[in-house]
């Protein structure tokens, strides 16, 4: 994902896929979702989110603008590209 211009991002967090496994997925700008399935669920509730982080030290980036955020129930990763195209 580039650093300039508008982007659409969709994420699925802690989706129960059965058998004690949980899935996390991220999709950017209509591309196929990157996924990870793990044998544990996050045992905490997400109540804070850092948007615009540099990803390397917790610093917030300047000039980050968020147009909108929409919350949905956790979705199958195959459904995420349609939300970000």
- Using CA atoms, how far residue 42 sits from 23, 47, 71, 79, in Å, is 10, 13, 18, 22
Task: Show me where the domains of the chain are located.
Answer: 9-84
Tens-place pLDDT, residues 44-79: 666 666 666 656 666 666 666 778 888 888 889 999
Q: Is this structure's pTM higher than 0.85?
A: no
Cβ(83)–Cβ(31) below 8 Å: no
| Predicted confidence (pLDDT) at residue 5 exceeds the cutoff of 80 | no
């Amino acid at each position: 994902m580039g650093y300039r211009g508008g982007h659409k991002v969709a994420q699925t967090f802690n989706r129960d896929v059965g058998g004690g496994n949980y899935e996390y997925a991220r999709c950017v700008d209509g591309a196929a979702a990157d996924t990870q399935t793990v044998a544990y669920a996050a045992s905490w509730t997400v109540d804070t989110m850092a948007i615009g982080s540099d990803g390397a030290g917790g610093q917030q980036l300047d000039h980050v603008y968020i147009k909108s955020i929409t919350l949905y129930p956790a979705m199958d990763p195959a459904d995420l590209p349609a939300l970000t195209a």
